[in-house]
Every structure is written in structure tokens, then in C-alpha cells.
């Protein structure tokens, strides 16, 4: 799964990495991004790529209560194409969720050890995400979820699931402004290769979502 991550790059780095123009309104780096918070995402509106904030935890357009979002921070890529909450989003509401590392907790005999996980080959990357718009009365929410898959050889020593990190050359294809069958979107995700990852132990300080400073990423010694 993916329940916490970081985005520490400066705004210009993000604009350059993802080929964006203009500025990112209200951009703030974060050492400890958690469900329910605003997350930086990129969509294609048919004319250009746009970066903005979505709330992490998908609230489907048909949901009666926005609280369902806290149960939908992740979507399993193996079944998203047939699930009512995700099927139509796989067709036409795909997004990039910008990050530069994520946290996962490895079970040990006595505790869960938090680890910070990064790509070996590049700093910034994007999770494959889905988004939706929810309206109820005067309340409007734009929310998202991160797609996950079975852990690869590296990650399975830490956790049995992992977020889908899009290869650089596949990012624009994922958010192309065209409607495709949900099965085709699943096939696209199934065929992605996973880049080399690296991980190191960090303090349990990161466990609390309220903690958001450099202590979250300091290597445990």
C-alpha cells in the first residue's frame, strides 16, 4: 500500500521535470504527506498539463458521505477496472501524483520499522493516480487515490503491496486526455516495469502525521 510519502523538491524542479508552465499555486514541500491532506497532482485538461491540489482519499461522485475517502487512499490495480468506485475513473480521470519518496513500515519481531523508499535513478517521480469530483449542496471536493500493485522483489521484504511508480516515458501516456476502456488502462499498468529502489530506516517520529520536518527523513543510526 502507500499511506505516507514526501515531496521536498522546489517548485522550479517540479515544473521542469514534468514540463509544466506557469506556477503552482500555494505550493509547499512536505516531509510527511498523509491521507486527508492536500496532494500535488497533474492532469491533462485537453489543452495542456495542469498541476494543482487534490485531497488524498477518493470520494466517488456518487458517494453519500465524504468520509468514505478515508477508506479509499489506495486502489488495487488488479481490480480497479471492474470496481464501481474506480472503473469510470480508469477510463478518463487518470492523474499523476507527484512525490520524491514514500514510507513503508516493515514488520519485525517486536515492532514496525518505518523506512523511507526512493528511486535509485531519479529524484522526482509520479504515482499512478485516479481522481474524481464530488458535490453535495454547496460543498465540492476534488479527491484522489494512489494505485497499488503486488510488491516486487525488493519491496516484498518490506510489505506485500507497493504504489505504482510510472516510468518517466509513460507519465504523459497515463494522463492523455482520451477516454479508453478500463481494461486497457489495467493492461497499461500491468506492463509497466519497476525501476530500482533503495530504502533506509527512519525514526518512528514519522508515524505521527503532525510531524513534518527534516527529522522524518533522517537516517536511523
Q: How far apart are CA 116 and CA 199, in angstroms?
A: 5
Q: Provide CATH code, domain 5-103+122-195.
A: 3.90.1680.10
Rounded average pLDDT over 178-192 = 97
Is residue 2 annotated as part of the catalytic site, yes or no?
A: yes
Catalytic residue among 91, 104, 144, 216: 104
pLDDT in tens, 83-137: 999 999 999 999 999 999 999 999 988 899 999 999 998 899 999 999 999 999 9
**3 state DSSP class of 185:** helix
Catalytic residue among 2, 95, 144, 216: 2
pLDDT in tens, 49-63: 999 999 999 999 999
Mean pLDDT in the chain? 96
What band does 20 get if pLDDT is binned at 50, 70 and 90? very high
Half-sphere exposure of 2 (CA within 13 A, CB side): 33
Q: What is the 3-state secondary structure (H, E, C) of 58-81?
A: CCCCCCCCHHHHHHCCEEECCCCC
Query: Residues near 217 by Cβ (< 8 Å), separated by ≥ 6?
Result: 6, 8, 31, 101, 116, 202, 206
The answer to whether the Cα torsion of 62, 68, 73, 77 is positive or negative is negative
List the chain domain ranges: 5-103+122-195
Amino acid at each position: 500500500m502507500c499511506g505516507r510519502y514526501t515531496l521536498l523538491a522546489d517548485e522550479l524542479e517540479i515544473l521542469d521535470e514534468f514540463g509544466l508552465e506557469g506556477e503552482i499555486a500555494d505550493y509547499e514541500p512536505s516531509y510527511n504527506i498523509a491521507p486527508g491532506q492536500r496532494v500535488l497532482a497533474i492532469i491533462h485538461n485537453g489543452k495542456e498539463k495542469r498541476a494543482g491540489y487534490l485531497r488524498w482519499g477518493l470520494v466517488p461522485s456518487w458517494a453519500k458521505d465524504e468520509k468514505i475517502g478515508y477508506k479509499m487512499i489506495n486502489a488495487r490495480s488488479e481490480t480497479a477496472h471492474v470496481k464501481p468506485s474506480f472503473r469510470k475513473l480508469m477510463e478518463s480521470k487518470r492523474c499523476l501524483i507527484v512525490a520524491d519518496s514514500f514510507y513503508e513500515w516493515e514488520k519485525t519481531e517486536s515492532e514496525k520499522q518505518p523506512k523511507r523508499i526512493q528511486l535509485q535513478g531519479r529524484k522526482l517521480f509520479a504515482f499512478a493516480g485516479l481522481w474524481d469530483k464530488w458535490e453535495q449542496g454547496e460543498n465540492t471536493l476534488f479527491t484522489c487515490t494512489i494505485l497499488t500493485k503486488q510488491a516486487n522483489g525488493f519491496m516484498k521484504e518490506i510489505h506485500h503491496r507497493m504504489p505504482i511508480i510510472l516510468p518517466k516515458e509513460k507519465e504523459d501516456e497515463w494522463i492523455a486526455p482520451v477516454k479508453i476502456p478500463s481494461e486497457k488502462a489495467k493492461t497499461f499498468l500491468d506492463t509497466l516495469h519497476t525501476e530500482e529502489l533503495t530504502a533506509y530506516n527512519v525514526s518512528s517520529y514519522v508515524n505521527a502525521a503532525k510531524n513534518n520536518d527534516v527529522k522524518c527523513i533522517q537516517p536511523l543510526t
